[in-house]
Amino acid sequence: MGLKFHKRIKIAPGVKINITRKGISSVSLGAKGATVNLGKKGVNATTSIPRTGLSYTQKLSGGTSSKQNLIEQVPSTEQLNIESQQTEVARRKISFLLGIGIIMMPYIFVWFLLRSGYSRRARYISFGWLILLLLIMRSQPV
């Protein structure tokens, strides 16, 4: 059994960042009973009955489910090389509207860059902007 680490930090009402030992894993939007989780593996919606432990989660987009991963065959090294070359060529560009969203409300839109295809540079710049704005907001007197 391995050691696990998980921390949830509240940024604003209804907005939480989930951190694991590998870094920021996802962001959760919503209140008790209904949340949307935006992460590296896709978007999930969860509904629950508070204080009962009963919940239902549905994958809205991105990634494959764990059952599908178990069924898939292990690809050969040639297939992996071809796929990695294709992903290098098919880098996603940040659209104009996503760029405006990142500038205006980074605590929501920056998480869209966690999907595959965006460059590390774009992620570092947008998360840096998010951290800078959070530090500025935190230093403001109330």
pLDDT digits (tens, 9 = 90+) for 9-51: 888 888 888 888 777 888 888 887 888 888 887 888 888 887 7
Give the chain's end-to-end CA distance (angstroms, integer): 46
Strands, E, within 32-76: which ranges? 34-39, 42-49, 54-61
Q: Which pLDDT value is given to residue 71?
A: 40
Distance CA 108, CA 114 (A): 12
pLDDT digits over 55-79, tens only? Answer: 888 888 876 544 444 344 455 555 5
Q: Which of 37, 93, 105 is nearest to 47 (CA)?
A: 37
Distance CA 12, CA 25 (A): 18
Q: Which pLDDT value is given to residue 96?
A: 81
Please give the backbone phi and psi of residue 87, each rounded to the nearest 5 degrees, phi first: -70, -30
CB-hemisphere CA count at 13 Å for 17? 16
Percent of the chain with pLDDT over 70: 78
Number of Cβ within 10 Å of residue 17's Cβ equals: 18
